[in-house]
């Protein structure tokens, strides 16, 4: 490979390391061309599987600032899965293919700039797909909003009940309720009427017998 071609290849790999949300390094020793094509097809919407040269890839890894995470993994026939879609689905595709084809060895990788081990990649593959997680999150948010709406709708009635309770308590502290006052009023009126009636009767009796006292 001419020097210019090597420079271009390194630049392309560096760009892919920088642009990918995740990277998984594998060893593919013994896999056939047909098997590699099958793997690429299974990863099509989530990752690009590329056979690489270790010498050029080490340069790209260095330029991408990933020496500590990936350099030691570039031993033997190497291929890289550059994740540009759902990381969970990409990990799941690699895991499932490795189960069916043990010649594919997952050596490790990088996710969001941090090194991940083969075991962590398998755990990642066991997670639910992004769409399922988003659906669950949306359902939880909907339930929370419905609960909040019910709480807010109940507030006016609760405030009215509280205001009424405070009013009754205040009136009781001031010496009686309006109902008690209104109940006492008829008795007072009756007493006043009786007194007036008694006075009138007495006056009438005296007028009718003006000489009674003198004749005695």
- pLDDT number for residue 114: 93
Domain residues of the chain, as ranges? 3-127, 133-205
Give CA–CA dist 28/26, Å, rounded.
Answer: 6
| Strand 22-27 to 78-83 pairing | antiparallel
Q: What does the pLDDT average to over 194-215?
A: 45
8 A C-beta contact, residue 35 and residue 79: no
Give CA–CA dist 208/216, Å, rounded.
Answer: 16
Burial of 54 (0-12, 13-18, 19+ CB in 10 A): middle
- Record the pTM: 0.59
- Report the interhelical angle of 87-100 vs 33-42 (nearest 10°): 150
Question: Which CATH architecture does the domain made up of 3-127 adopt?
Answer: 2-Layer Sandwich (3.30)
Closest CA relative to residue 124, chosen from 90, 151, 153: 90
Mean per-residue pLDDT over the chain, rounded: 80
| Banded model confidence at residue 176, pLDDT cuts 50, 70, 90 | low
Sign of CA dihedral 8, 35, 21, 121: negative
**For residue range 125-163, what is the model confidence (pLDDT) as tens digits?**
999 766 555 666 677 677 666 566 666 676 677 777 777
**For residue range 1-15, what is the model confidence (pLDDT) as tens digits?**
668 899 999 999 999
- pLDDT number for residue 215: 40
């Amino acid at each position: 490979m001419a020097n210019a071609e090597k420079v271009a290849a390194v630049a392309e790999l560096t760009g892919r390391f920088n642009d990918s949300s995740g990277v998984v390094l594998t060893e593919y020793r013994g896999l056939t061309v047909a098997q590699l094509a099958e793997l690429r097809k299974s990863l099509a919407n989530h990752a690009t599987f590329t056979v690489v040269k270790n010498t050029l890839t080490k340069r790209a890894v260095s330029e991408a600032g990933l020496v500590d995470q990936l350099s030691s993994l570039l031993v033997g026939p190497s291929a890289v899965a550059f994740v540009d879609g759902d990381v969970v689905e990409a990990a799941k595709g690699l895991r499932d293919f490795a189960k069916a084809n043990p010649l594919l060895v997952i050596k490790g990788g990088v996710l969001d700039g941090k090194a991940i081990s083969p075991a962590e990649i398998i755990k990642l593959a066991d997670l639910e797909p992004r769409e399922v997680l988003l659906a669950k999150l949306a359902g939880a948010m909907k339930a929370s909003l419905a609960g909040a709406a019910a709480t807010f709708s109940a507030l006016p009635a609760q405030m009215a009940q509280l205001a009424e309770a405070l009013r009754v308590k205040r009136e009781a502290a001031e010496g009686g309720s309006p109902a008690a006052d209104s109940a006492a009023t008829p008795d007072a009126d009756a007493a006043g009427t009786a007194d007036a009636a008694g006075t009138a009767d007495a006056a009438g009796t005296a007028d009718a017998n003006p000489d009674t006292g003198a004749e005695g």
